[in-house]
Amino acid sequence: MSTNRALLSFYTLFGLLLRDARAQCSTTITPTNSIQPSVASGYAAAVIATGLTAPRSLEIDSAGNLLVIESGLGLSNYILDDSGGLCLSLSSKETLIDDSDLNHGLALSQDGSTVYVSDTDKVYAYSYDATARSVNTNRTVLVSGMQGTDHTTRTILVPKHVENHIVVGRGSLSNIDDMALNEMTGISQVKAFDLSQIPSGGFDYSTSGTRLAWGVRNEVGIAEHPLDGGIWGVENSADQLVRAGVDVHATNPAEELNWFGYLNGTNVAQQGSNFGYPTCFTVWDQSILPNAGKLIVGNQFALDPTVSCLNYTSPRLAFHPHTAPLDMKFNDSGNTAWVSFHGSWNSPNPVGYYVAYVLFENGQPVEPSTSNASLNIVLANQDNSKCPDNCFRPAGMKIDGMGRLLVASDASGEIYIVQRTTATANSTANSTQSGGGTQTSSGSSSTTSAGSAALLGIDGTLIGAGLFGLVAIMFGMI
Average pLDDT, the chain: 88
State how beta strands 231-235 and 255-259 pair.
Answer: antiparallel
**What is the pLDDT confidence band of residue 440, given thresholds at 50, 70 and 90?**
very low
Instruction: Identify residue 276 by its one-letter amino acid code.
Output: G
Chain Cα centroid distance, residue 207: 28
Residue 431's domain spans which residues? 3-474
pLDDT exceeds 50 at position 8:
no
> DSSP string covering 182-193, please?
SGGG-TTEEEEE
CA-to-CA distance for 449 and 446, rounded, in angstroms? Answer: 9
Element (H, E) at 88: strand 88-98
As a whole number, mean pLDDT of residues 321-334 equals 97
Confidence of residue 87 (pLDDT cuts 50, 70, 90): very high
DSSP string of 149-169, one letter each residue: SSS----EE--SSSSSEEEEE
Are 230 and 259 in contact by the 8 Å Cβ rule? The answer is yes
Is residue 134 within 8 A of residue 103, CB to CB? The reply is no
Does the predicted TM-score (pTM) go above 0.85?
A: yes
DSSP H or E stretch at residue 470: helix 467-474
End-to-end CA distance of the chain: 18
Which helix (DSSP H) or strand (DSSP E) does residue 14 occupy? helix 3-23
Mean pLDDT of 288-299: 97
Residue 178 DSSP code:
G
Q: Which helix (H) or strand (E) holds 75?
A: strand 74-82
Query: Residue 112: how many CB atoms within 10 A of its CB?
Result: 15
3-class secondary-structure state, position 135:
strand
Q: Give the residue, 460 or 17, on which the prediction is more confident.
A: 460
Give the model's pLDDT for residue 35.
85
230 vs 361: CA distance, rounded Å = 13
CATH number at 41 reads: 2.120.10.30
| Per-residue pLDDT at 425 | 63
The 10s digit of each residue's pLDDT in 351-362 is 999 999 999 999
Average pLDDT over residues 230-254: 96
Per-residue pLDDT, 436: 39
Residue type, 305: P
Q: For residue 414, give Cα distances in angstroms to 68, 205, 208, 384, 390.
A: 11, 33, 37, 17, 12
| Total domains present in the chain | 1
Estimate the share of the chain in helix, then strand, then coil, as percent rounded to the nearest 5.
10, 35, 55
CA 151 to chain centre: 17
- Asked if residue 425 lies in contact with residue 443, where contact means CB atoms within 8 angstroms, the answer is no
The Cα diameter of the chain in Å comes to 80
Cis preceding-peptide flag for 350 (omega within 30 of 0): no
Question: 401-437 pLDDT, tens per residue?
Answer: 999 999 999 999 999 999 999 876 655 676 544 443 3
User: DSSP letter string over 295-342?
Assistant: --TT-EEESSTTS--TTSPPPSEEE-TT--EEEEEE-TTSSEEEEEE-
200-215 pLDDT, tens digit per residue, is: 999 999 999 999 999 9
